[in-house]
Amino acid sequence: MEVDKNCNFWLPKKNRFCANACLHHSLFCGNHKPRSDDQWIPCPIDPSHSVLKENLEGHVKRCPLLKQVQSLTLQPYYQKGINSGNQTEEDGKMITSELKRNAVYSMSVAQFSELIRKIESLHESIRHYIRDSYKVPEACGIWIKRQVDGKLPFQEKHVAQQASILANLEEFGILDKNSIESEGFDHDGFFGNGNGVPAVVEFGAGRGYLTQMLADCYGIQKVYLVERKSYKLKADRSLRQKERLILERLRIDIEDLNLKAVESLRGVPYLAIGKHLCGPATDLTLRCCLVKYCDQENIPVSDVDTNLRGLAIATCCHHLCQWKNYINKTYFSNLGFTKEDFHAITWFTSWAVDADHSSDILDVNNCSLDSQSMETNFSENRGVEEVIRNMKAAERAALGFKCKQIIDMGRMVWMKECGLDTQFVKYVPSTISPENHLLIARCINHL
C-alpha cells in the first residue's frame, strides 16, 4: 500500500490539503506538525522570536541578530539594564495586559468603585496643570508648505504633531527660531548665541523624521538617533546630505544606553526628544537623561545631566507601562495607590485610544463616573466585568484619558524634583491623534 507523501494538514481557504512533503515518520510537513507550546522558548539573543527547544543550540549559532548583539556589547555606551531602575525580584516581573485585565475582573465591586473614586479625585486635583497647546511655528513653514525633499514621506497628521512639538519647545525657550537664519556658529560648530542647542538626541527615533524637521527648521548640527529596531525609508539619507551635520544612529535599547559614554556627545549641550515613546520607554528615557548612574550598590541618585538643555517627550501606549520601570513609584504610593492599582490604571488607559476620535467633542473634565452608583446598582454577584460592560463608551474613554494624564503627571512631578522647569500640555487635538500628551522640561541653570 502506497503511503501518502503529502502533508495531511487541511487548508480550508484553499479547499485542499497542504502540498508540502511530510516529515519522516510524520503525517505533516515541518510547518504543520503539531507541537506543544512548551517546546517553544524565547531566543536568548533576541526574545522577540521563539525557537524549538531541540533546535536552540543550532539556532543560537546562526541567529540573524547574533553579530549585531556581539558588536553592541563591545560598545562603551552599552550597559545592560542601566536605565531599568532599582528593582526587587518581585517588581522585575513583566505584567501583561491579560494579567492586568484579570486582576481588575477579580476585584470586588466595592474595591473597583473605590479605585474609580480615587482616580476621579486625583484627576480633579491635577487637571488644572494640563493645558491645550496646539501650535504651528513659523520656522516649520517649509514643511507645512511641503517645500522639502519630495522623496521624504509627507503625512499631514505626523507633520502637524512634529511641528507642534517643536513649537512648544520654541515657546518654552529651548529652541531659537532665529538660529537657522543667523547661522551663528562658533569655532566648535555650536550656536554662537546663548539659546542655541547644537545637538539633539531622539529616543525611539524610528525613521527619524521628527529630527529631520528639527534639523531643517532650526539648524541642529549634531544628531543622535536612538532606536533598537531597523527601519526602511529612514531620514538618514536626507540628513547625511546636509552640510556640516553629523549623524550617528545608535541601534540599542534605551534600557541599556549609557548616554554619558557616547564619546562624540561628551561635553556637548543637547536636547532630548521623543515622539510616541511607547509605555516604559518614556521612563527609561527620563532615567537615561536625568539620573546619575547607579553606584556599586545599584542605588540611583537623581541629578540632571549638566549637558542637558531641554527635553520633550510625547508619551504613548500607557497600557504597556510597568511598575518595575515607572520613574515615580513614590508619587503613586504617597497617594495611597498600590502596585496593583497602578497596573489597573495602565489597563484603563487603553479605553482612551479605543474611543471614536472622528470629532474632538469628548470633554474629559466634564465626564466623570459615579463610583457610589456602581456599588448601589451592581451587586457583588454580577461582578466587575458586568460593571465595565455597562459603562458608556464616553465614560470609558474619559476614564482612560484621566489615567493617562495621572501617569504622565507622576513623571512631570519627578522631573520637577530633579530641578527642571516643566510643562505638561496636550499638543494636538485628539482628532489628529488620541496620543496627544507632551512632557516638556528645561534646565533652569542654562536659561
What is the domain-level CATH number for residue 318?
Answer: 3.40.50.150
**pLDDT, tens digit (0-9, with 9 covering 90-100), for 328-346:** 999 999 999 999 999 999 9
Q: How far apart are CA 181 and CA 261, in angstroms?
A: 33
Residue 2 pLDDT grade (very low, low, confident, very high; cuts 50, 70, 90): very low
64 is a domain residue? no
The pLDDT value given to residue 201:
96
Q: Are residues 146 and 255 in the same domain?
A: yes
The pLDDT value given to residue 140:
79
Backbone angles phi, psi at 33, to 5 degrees: -65, 125
Q: Are residues 271 and 402 in the same domain?
A: yes
Between residues 107 and 195, the one the model is more confident about: 107
Least trusted range by pLDDT, from 212-221, 289-298, 408-417: 289-298
Residue 23 pLDDT grade (very low, low, confident, very high; cuts 50, 70, 90): confident
Q: What pTM does this model have?
A: 0.81
> Nearest Cα to 126, choosing from 403, 429, 433?
403
338 is a domain residue? yes
Q: Are residues 318 and 424 in the same domain?
A: yes
Between residues 59 and 274, the one the model is more confident about: 274
Least trusted range by pLDDT, from 103-112, 173-182, 222-231, 268-277: 173-182
The pLDDT value given to residue 360:
55
Q: Are residues 302 and 411 in the same domain?
A: yes
**pLDDT, tens digit (0-9, with 9 covering 90-100), for 181-240:** 444 434 333 333 344 578 999 999 998 989 988 988 888 889 999 998 888 888 888 888
Q: Are residues 179 and 320 in the same domain?
A: yes
18 is a domain residue? yes
For the chain, give the percent of residues with pLDDT over 90: 45
pLDDT at 141 exceeding the cut of 90: no
- Contacts with 154 (C-beta within 8 Å, 6 or more apart), sequence order: 146, 148
Least trusted range by pLDDT, from 189-198, 294-303, 316-325: 294-303
81 is a domain residue? no
The pLDDT value given to residue 192:
34
Between residues 180 and 265, the one the model is more confident about: 265
The pLDDT value given to residue 144:
72
Contact yes or no for 131/425 (Cβ under 8 A): yes
> Nearest Cα to 119, choosing from 392, 372, 345?
345
Contact yes or no for 265/224 (Cβ under 8 A): yes
**pLDDT, tens digit (0-9, with 9 covering 90-100), for 25-42:** 888 887 787 766 557 788
pLDDT at 97 exceeding the cut of 70: yes
pLDDT at 371 exceeding the cut of 90: no
Q: Are residues 7 and 103 in the same domain?
A: no
Residue 363 pLDDT grade (very low, low, confident, very high; cuts 50, 70, 90): low
**pLDDT, tens digit (0-9, with 9 covering 90-100), for 373-402:** 665 565 556 788 888 988 888 889 999 999
Q: Are residues 252 and 103 in the same domain?
A: yes
Residue 168 pLDDT grade (very low, low, confident, very high; cuts 50, 70, 90): very high
399 is a domain residue? yes
Provide mean pLDDT across the span 6-10.
Answer: 90
Full residue range of the structural domain in which residue 29 is found? 1-34
Between residues 230 and 10, the one the model is more confident about: 10
**Other Cβ atoms closer than 10 A to 289:** 22
48 is a domain residue? no
Cell of 317: 501606549
**Other Cβ atoms closer than 10 A to 364:** 21
Mean pLDDT of the chain: 83
The pLDDT value given to residue 294:
40
For the chain, give the percent of residues with pLDDT over 70: 81
- Contacts with 279 (C-beta within 8 Å, 6 or more apart), sequence order: 316, 317, 318, 319, 320, 321, 322
> Nearest Cα to 244, choosing from 228, 223, 221, 226?
221
The pLDDT value given to residue 29:
85
Looking at the structure of the chain, the number of domains it has is 2
The pLDDT value given to residue 25:
80
Least trusted range by pLDDT, from 112-116, 153-157, 305-309, 398-402: 153-157
Query: What is residue 77's three-state secondary structure?
Result: coil
Provide mean pLDDT across the span 242-271.
Answer: 92
Q: Are residues 136 and 235 in the same domain?
A: yes
417 is a domain residue? yes
The alpha helices in 78-177, defined as continuous H runs, are: 97-105, 109-126, 141-144, 156-171
90 is a domain residue? no
